[in-house]
Amino acid sequence: MHKKKKTTVRRIVTGRIVSVLPAVVLQGLIIYGIARWLAPFATLFYSVLSVLSALFVLILISKRGEGAYKMLWLLVMFVAPLPGAVMYLFYGNKRTGKILEQRLNAVCDSLPAILNDDVKIQQQLEKEDKRVAQTFAYIKRITGFPVLRNDTAQYYPVGELLFEQMMSALKEAKRYVFIEYFIIQEGVMWETMVDVMEQKVQEGVDIRVLYDDIGSIGTFSHRNRLSLLKKGIKCEKFNPLIVLSGALNNRDHRKIMVVDGIVAFSGGINLADEYINEEHPFGHWKDIGFKITGDAIRSYVYMFMEFWNASSLNKVTDEIIGKDYVSASAFDDIALDGYVLPYYDSPNREEAASNNLFIDLLGQSVNYIWFYTPYLLLGDGLRDAFVRAAQRGVDVRIVMPGIPDKKIVYRMSRSYYRELLEAGVKIYEYTPGFVHAKACLVDDCIGSIGTVNLDYRSLYLHYECNALFYKASILDDLKKDFETSMEVSRERTLQEEKKGLLHRIINGILRIFAPLV
């Protein structure tokens, strides 16, 4: 089965390369033609690019942004000033994704006003804990998503348990199902879902599937999409690979499934067999997720509608989702389960929401702060926040994979170990296999679960979704799961980390190129 799947992946990738190659070749010919046309003006062209290089260097130094990313571009421009200027112009700044962002913004203006922003909820949170309320208000200001009172949120410590609940909800669907994932791959998990979705379409349920074109480049082809369309399942790809552009870095790494506006699912798992341990390419696959109900569903519906309507001519309308959402005011006299703020990150915002959130949580932690992450490629601000928290005496822990899925990224992640361990951060490697979970827990009362890795791509380049909880019972289950995972993990020691000059040079080089992976 595994050999057959690898053959299928090669076939899909080869097909995609062949289909895109003409556009890439045409793009290259256009660039070559422009270069030939500019040849008589080579001196002027050289002077202009030299000036641009100098300007880009000044802009990089003066602008707000991640130091490691700026260092990478400064190095590129130092080694190759002219090509570096051209590369930065097309790939290195946020403007490369502006067309995609403009399309998303244009869609927002036409979306139904389903996000319920109740000022009373924010005020109530301020009465309970002003410092936490400031954190929620900050994320709300950056992302535009409201603070909500949490109805119910159920935690699942492995993907197979979450999948059981997803299938149960799918079978109960009456009106619509929205599915948005970074990776979709043929196998037991996906075929099980497709069988039920096909039946539900025949019952009149509106089912829509949105997948990331690059994330699924080797696992989900145009043929798979056509197969869904023939079954009556609407399917679109996000930010398709057509020509080479900077916007290709901006991937939809979100994982969302919404059923009838009644229940939503999110977390780390993609729709592929290793995520539910039907296959074991890297030992036991440790992933987590959650099911949520109540007013927070609005936020996930809105997220999906925005991306779907920006990717498809067949829009999700007010008539499809209905107008029967429960208003938050209906919960005034009910003791709900804490607070929640579901939101998504955008690479085109000036401020990186999740990166700044984690820095903030590290700064306000008192007793402990624990993280799940498969990758550990930290920018300067986040790395310093880890160090400062540990040096203050906070119990800072990071649970990492014991078996890596990408060896070069794993080696890059380990380049941060010594500095963190010296500060007092505890690092655990999950011995049964690979950790793909993404979560954070602070002092028993505040935490987040979502799709955000502690690496540059998640924190700065991808579209991600995350749920920030306060005083919700789901955090108790998250803590128990952390403790269970650490029991079967091996704690790294400072003695294991090499500290020779050569090792430090290698680590320095790896960190420079960390923003590229």
* CATH numbers and ranges of domains, the chain: 2-92 (no CATH), 100-127+147-339 (3.30.870.10), 353-516 (3.30.870.10)
pLDDT given at position 46: 62
Nearest to 248 by CA among 452, 100, 435, 466: 100
The model's pLDDT over 364-383, given as tens digits with 9 standing for 90+, comes to 999 999 999 999 999 989 99
The residue among 293 and 15 whose pLDDT is bigger is: 293
Pairing relationship of beta strands 234-238 and 206-212 according to DSSP bridges: parallel
- pTM, 2 dp: 0.86
Pair 347, 460: CB distance under 8 Å: yes
Please report the DSSP string for 277-337 in residue order. Answer: TSS-BTBEEE--EEEEEGGGHHHHHHHHHHHHHHH-SS---HHHH-S-PPPGGGGTTS--S
The residue among 415 and 99 whose pLDDT is bigger is: 415
Q: Mean pLDDT score of the chain, rounded to an integer?
A: 86
Separation between Cα atoms, residue 324 and residue 408, nearest integer Å: 49
State the distance between the two ends of the chain, measured CA to CA, in whole angstroms. 29
Separation between Cα atoms, residue 120 and residue 124, nearest integer Å: 6
Which residues, other chains included, contact 33 with Cβ-Cβ below 8 Å and sequence gap of 6+? none
Separation between Cα atoms, residue 294 and residue 336, nearest integer Å: 10
Alpha-carbon torsion (184, 189, 194, 199), positive or negative: negative
Poorest-pLDDT segment among 293-297, 389-393, 478-482 = 293-297
pLDDT surpasses 60 at 34: no
The model's pLDDT over 243-295, given as tens digits with 9 standing for 90+, comes to 555 567 789 999 999 999 999 999 999 999 999 999 999 999 999 999 999 99
- C-alpha 129: how far from chain center: 28
